[in-house]
Homo-oligomer: A and B are copies of this chain.
Amino acid sequence: MQFDFPNPFDFPKIKFPSLIKSSKTAGLPPGQLVHLGEKLTDKSLVELISYNDKEFREASSGKSNEITEGLSAETVNWINIDGLHNVDLIREVGEHFAVNSLILEDILNSDQRPKVEEYEEHLFFTLKTLNALNTESIIYEQMSFVLGKNYILSFQEKEGDLFEGMRNRLKNDPNSKARKKHADYLFYRFIDTIVDSYFLILENIAERIELLEDEVFVNPTKRTLQKIQQLKKELIFLRKSVYPVREAVSKISKGEYHFIKKETIQYFNDVYDHTIQVIETMETYRDLTTSLMDMYMTSVSNKMNEVMKVLTIIATIFIPLTFIAGIYGMNFEYMPELQWKYGYAAVWGLMLTTLMIMVIYFKRKKWF
């Protein structure tokens, strides 16, 4: 007989990332640049894409000064930095563009809550990119943008991002909308692309909910329970990443920041609609996950009920029959039935009658 105790060690744990970092800086004075988060890559790279409706230039280097020097004021300059562990690189870039030290701190803190903030020289936006490679867990990556007059700085934890399509279009299509617009439009395209990618995560979660629903109805095991709990946790963490984004986008779409031109704000209204839709869908999934738990509970009760019925049917049929057999197994000297010629047959008759009554009773109760 084998039961389905899963190995406790293969329970897919969720790291509580926000806690690891915070205790690291506890007690440090502000303004000290420390990378808070796991080091996800060894390499660090500075990339430049610089364009306007006429020209397009690409460059990349491990050293910031090779990139940041000689930027044209005529073009939109997108400087992308991969690898938050290289604190010096980030400080250099920061100093070159006169980025406030509070911004730099937040960029380096992988557990920073998403937010938008306006400083004199820059608009700062930080949020999470989500990645659901397989159906078991979501990868959270910190991404920050610093929007200046004619440039955008983007900071990522490691190489590889959602913007490959954008890069190609900028490069190959001189007539694309972005080529004719300013840095704030590029900024909008970044935020829009990231928010759109959240829908992929939701799709992934929707699939898992449907699979779990079938599992709960057909064959609920302990493993199912773990999966539901896991899903619940992921939705809780997802929520923490997405809610503040709505807030931030809402501020932008209200036109609070002069870095975003009036004509770009209407696009942010669109992004805002999408964040609302992401959040509403997420809340829907939370409700569905909660009711999955209830249904699991009920499914287990149903199964127990079935088990009990089988036991009861068997016991209720055979216990009285065994009692009858027991009677005629007694050794009394004077038991007239034992001497009757058809005694044995009569007992069988009695037993079969009892059986019939029981079966009819259970049929009536619709137990089988």
Distance A344 CA – B330 CA, assembled complex (angstroms): 9
A29, A113, A344: most-surrounded residue (chain B CB, <10 A): A29
In angstroms, how far is the closest chain B Cβ from the Cβ of A236?
5
CB distance from A358 to the nearest CB of B (A): 9
Q: Which of A260-279 contact B (CB under 8 A)?
A: 266-267, 270, 273-274, 276-277
Contact of A327 among B27, B102, B233, B325 (CB under 8 A): B325
Are B311 and A315 in contact (CB-based, < 8 A)? yes
Q: Mark A185-197, 1 if CB is under 8 A from B, else 0.
A: 0000100110011
From the candidates B8, B287, B303, B333, name the one contacting A214 in the complex (CB within 8 A): B8
Q: When the two chains form their complex, are residues A199 and B19 in contact, meaning their CB atoms are under 8 A apart?
A: yes
Establish whether residues B320 and A287, one from each chain, have CB atoms under 8 Å apart when the complex forms: no
Verify A295–B225 contact, CB threshold 8 A: yes
Q: How far is the CA of A318 from the CA of B325 in the complex (A)?
A: 12
Q: Which of B18, B293, B320 contacts A314 (CB 8 A)?
A: B320
* A276-B331 contact given A229-B291, A307-B309, A316-B311, CB 8 Å threshold: no
Does A172 reach chain B (CB closer than 8 Å)?
A: no
For residue A230, give the distance in angstroms from its CB to the closest CB of chain B: 10
Number of copies: 5
Is A96 close to B, CB under 8 A? no
Q: Please indicate the chain B residues that have their CB under 8 angstroms from the CB of A312 in the complex.
A: 307-308, 310-311, 314
Partner of A322, one of B3, B177, B323: B323
In contact, A266 and B102 (Cβ under 8 angstroms):
yes
For the complex, what is the distance from the CA of A197 to the CA of B28, rounded to whole Å? 11
Does A160 touch B at the CB level, under 8 Å? no
In the bound complex, CA of A357 to CA of B330 (Å): 23
> Is A54 part of the binding interface, using a Cβ–Cβ cutoff of 8 Å?
no
Considering the complex, give the chain B residue whose CB is closest to the CB of A220: B302
Contacts of A8 in B (CB 8 A): 214, 217-218
A310 cross-chain contacts in B, Cβ below 8 A: 1, 312, 316
Kindly state the separation between the CA atoms of A16 and B3 in the bound complex, as whole angstroms. Answer: 35
Is A134 an interface residue when CB atoms closer than 8 A count as contact? no
Q: Are B314 and A27 in contact (CB under 8 A)?
A: no
- Could you name 25 residue pairs across A and B whose Cβ atoms are closer than 8 Å? A1-B368, A3-B306, A11-B217, A16-B281, A20-B203, A22-B277, A27-B165, A27-B196, A29-B169, A115-B273, A222-B299, A225-B302, A229-B291, A232-B287, A294-B297, A300-B302, A300-B305, A311-B316, A314-B319, A319-B322, A321-B326, A322-B323, A325-B329, A328-B332, A331-B331
